[in-house]
């Protein structure tokens, strides 16, 4: 049985410790395509998971970036 790195990451850290483009789009109230463009800006954290069709980032790194670059972004819904 093959376990993907995403599965291992979710088991070892918890799914709320990483965020993907859909999470970012939802929390910022923007489209997924705009969120994807945001993640490609210089200075945005490097992905913790970088696959051809899926990327995810450490939540604490994205939070720090948003705190610096998006004044009043509001925080994560479960905080």
For 29-70, write each residue's pLDDT tens digit: 999 999 999 999 999 999 999 999 999 999 999 999 999 999
- Is 1 strand, coil or helix? coil
- Which of 63, 31, 35 lies closest to 74 in space, CA to CA? 63
3: which DSSP letter?
-
Angle at 61 between CA 73 and CA 25, to 5 degrees: 45
- CA gap 59, 15 in Å, rounded: 10
> Would you state the pLDDT for residue 1?
39
Give first-to-last CA distance, the chain, whole Å: 36
Structure tokens at 68: 């610096």
């Amino acid at each position: 049985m093959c376990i993907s790195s995403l599965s291992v990451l979710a088991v070892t850290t918890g799914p709320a410790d990483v965020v993907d483009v859909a999470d970012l789009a939802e929390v910022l109230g923007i489209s997924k395509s705009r969120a994807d463009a945001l993640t490609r800006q210089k200075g945005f954290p490097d992905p913790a998971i970088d696959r051809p069709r899926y990327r995810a980032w450490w939540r604490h790194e994205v939070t720090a970036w948003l705190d610096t670059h998006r004044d009043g972004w509001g925080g994560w819904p479960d905080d």
